[in-house]
Amino acid sequence: MKYFKNAPFALVTLALILFGGMKIIGAEQMLQNMGNLHYPEWFTRLLGLGEIAFAAGLWSEKTRSTSILLLFGIFSGAIGSHLGHGDGLAGAVPALVCLGLTAVCYGIHTFQKRQT
């Protein structure tokens, strides 16, 4: 059961490390996608650093609530950016999936806090 509870956290962490890492190293495709959304390169790299930091924060009881809250903001902003720039739902799917997984993480975290 412990592994089942950690699966959503692991999936969100994996996605954040992948996408955040691509932003930090300046992967051409990521910079181009963020440029299409009218975000400057410095913001893209800062966002990547934040994503990696919040991924790490998911694994500490002291920072988990804050990380989840900030991830809700990042993923909601990503969805809004894609929809606002005409990408439609297809462009927002990764953020939608991550937002859903983050909501599951929030539910697990809240349940675990109530058990203690």
pLDDT single digits (tens) 89-105: 888 999 999 999 999 99
Which residues lie closer than 8 Å to 95 by C-beta, 6 or more apart? 75, 78, 79, 82
- Asked if residues 69 and 58 have their Cβ atoms less than 8 Å apart, the reply is no
User: What pLDDT does 1 receive?
Assistant: 65
Residue 61 is classified by DSSP as T
Average pLDDT over residues 29-46: 95
CA atoms of 116 and 110, how far apart (whole Å): 10
Mean of all residue pLDDT scores within the chain: 94
Residue 116 is classified by DSSP as -
- Condensed to tens digits (0 to 9), the pLDDT of residues 50-89 reads 999 999 999 999 999 999 999 999 999 999 999 999 888 8
What is the reported pTM?
0.91
